[in-house]
Chain A
């Protein structure tokens, strides 16, 4: 692997409306710094992909965006959401997570029925009316392209679903909360190609109503579904540009090497 100058970077200016932006975010695991000066602006209603080799810090960075790194790592810097710095100790993290949902690498439905998986958090958030719950249930399952497959089995255990269905259920669970932003941490890495393409299709459709930030290992996936792509290397954001430019006209040597498969 070549040595790259990690302090050089090419970050494009986003002219669209922003969903989320970070200023000088640093992340430390104990004394080890995992993310260095991350300055990224995420556009609204677009899919932004975070790519990079293993250990580049892309998952770590993603988990900062809805404060899932609390108690795990120390996060410095500002994360602005609707003009508020959500990375301050005064922030109500539970509120933040209702607006910024997350889907994980491995499907993690609750050991409850399909219906309960969706409605549990809704009830907790204060939605009590049965008709409202039913509406959200149907809406979110349709949004995650799962409705037709499970509409007759809503009271069956979510654990009986296939891996791909479980992951779409997790997506449905997140969007049922009506978040603004959806964070996805390699949501298709544990799935077969057919499930993967279903998830990708789902995300494409969701990007009309949600701002999506997705970490992926799969370069084809990033180029297929994302509008913007950030390339991270060893904790540094090396390049951030429209996906077309990242893949066809990379500005940095490291990016070019990575997207052409020379390392990672």
Chain B
């Protein structure tokens, strides 16, 4: 067979595989959106869930998901940044660094149910945090950190070494070079990783069932006192998220419109993740342009 023919066959196979993946994606997304979008209404988004009668909404679940996401990012981003910077800029190439990398990898392959149960035993029971947003956020941090650390490390590493040398040759310290030159240059990559992990957090259910709980108590959205028991910002209250809600509605709900609620919630979940994706990408580009002064 000649080179041209082999090339043609190879590209045909590759295109087919790529096509299959895209088709699958479109099919799943299309199915969810097609089934769910017609049932999304303002009322659905802004009213509380009903346990027994039809017509319930997802107001609290949606808010809980977003709040949990923000808390998780607040907890995990600094740790991930620190670990990523250490691994890429400071760590020497030795067995200890390898050990850390392996640990991070093992952590990333833990099943989320196991993380959830671990969180239940440690935070909910042992540390007496109860079923709470905080327990959920910490459990999700466990789950999110490996991915985030890995991503930040890779993004920093992909900045050419010449940039580090430029910083060094001007008498800048390692720390200044890292934070002021390398980190800004790596920002778009870090943001992409953050978005990916945010999607994972937003859609996570198993780890939250045992940590953030499955109930959505009525909260007061006008109470901004974070310490007040019925404040929507109180991190110590149990909080059912959207993904957990979908799971629950599908398994043990007695509402007559359970099907409708689950398909509409799924659609909302996906739309929010998509919006998040696009928004963060836009923001990342803007930020990068501002830092690098590219017009």
Name the residue on B nearest A92 (C-beta): B171
Among A106, A121, A155, A159, point to the contact of B170 (Cβ < 8 A). Answer: A121
> Are A108 and B165 within 8 A (Cβ)?
yes
B109 at the interface (CB under 8 A from A): no
> Are A97 and B168 within 8 A (Cβ)?
yes
| Chain A residues positioned under 8 Å from B167 (CB to CB) | 110
Per the 8 Å Cβ criterion, residues 215-244 of B in contact with A are none
| Chain B residues positioned under 8 Å from A103 (CB to CB) | 169
In Å, the complex CA distance between A36 and B37 comes to 74
14 contacts between A and B (CB under 8 A): A96-B171, A108-B165, A110-B185, A113-B293, A120-B170, A120-B180, A155-B293, A157-B294, A157-B295, A158-B293, A159-B294, A173-B166, A177-B170, A177-B171
In Å, the complex CA distance between A160 and B184 comes to 17
> Are B163 and A124 within 8 A (Cβ)?
no
Name the residue on A nearest B161 (C-beta): A108
A102 at the interface (CB under 8 A from B): yes
B292 at the interface (CB under 8 A from A): yes
> Are B169 and A110 within 8 A (Cβ)?
no
Given A104-B165, A108-B163, is A97 in contact with B170 using a C-beta cutoff of 8 Å?
yes
Among A66, A112, A125, A156, point to the contact of B169 (Cβ < 8 A). Answer: A66
A95 at the interface (CB under 8 A from B): yes
> Are A160 and B294 within 8 A (Cβ)?
yes
Q: B169, B180, B294: which has the most chain A beta carbons within 10 Å? A: B169
Per the 8 Å Cβ criterion, residues 143-195 of B in contact with A are 160, 162-163, 165-173, 176, 180-181, 184-185
Per the 8 Å Cβ criterion, residues 88-122 of A in contact with B are 94-98, 101-104, 106, 108-113, 116, 120-121
A89 to chain B, nearest CB (A): 16
| Chain B residues positioned under 8 Å from A120 (CB to CB) | 170, 180
| Chain B residues positioned under 8 Å from A104 (CB to CB) | 162, 165-166, 169
Among A68, A106, A155, point to the contact of B168 (Cβ < 8 A). Answer: A68
> Are B292 and A124 within 8 A (Cβ)?
no
Interface set of A (CB-CB < 8 Å, partner B) = 66, 68, 94-98, 101-104, 106, 108-113, 116, 120-121, 124-125, 155-160, 170, 173-174, 177
Q: A68, A109, A112: which has the most chain B beta carbons within 10 Å? A: A112
B186 to chain A, nearest CB (A): 10
Among B168, B169, B292, point to the contact of A159 (Cβ < 8 A). Answer: B292
Name the residue on B nearest A176 (C-beta): B170
Q: A110-B181, A112-B291, A177-B171 are in contact. List 11 more A-B contacts (CB 8 A).
A: A68-B168, A94-B171, A104-B169, A110-B163, A110-B166, A111-B291, A113-B293, A120-B180, A121-B170, A124-B170, A124-B172
| Chain B residues positioned under 8 Å from A158 (CB to CB) | 293
Name the residue on B nearest A67 (C-beta): B168
> Are A106 and B294 within 8 A (Cβ)?
no
B181 to chain A, nearest CB (A): 6
> Are A156 and B295 within 8 A (Cβ)?
yes
Name the residue on A nearest B165 (C-beta): A104
> Are B293 and A112 within 8 A (Cβ)?
yes
> Are B169 and A101 within 8 A (Cβ)?
yes
In Å, the complex CA distance between A202 and B160 comes to 27
> Are B172 and A68 within 8 A (Cβ)?
no
Q: Pick the 7 closest A-B CB pairs, nearest first.
A: A113-B293, A108-B162, A98-B171, A121-B170, A102-B169, A97-B171, A111-B292
Name the residue on A nearest B163 (C-beta): A108
> Are A157 and B293 within 8 A (Cβ)?
yes
Q: B162, B168, B170: which has the most chain A beta carbons within 10 Å? A: B170
In Å, the complex CA distance between A184 and B172 comes to 18
| Chain B residues positioned under 8 Å from A116 (CB to CB) | 293
Name the residue on A nearest B294 (C-beta): A157
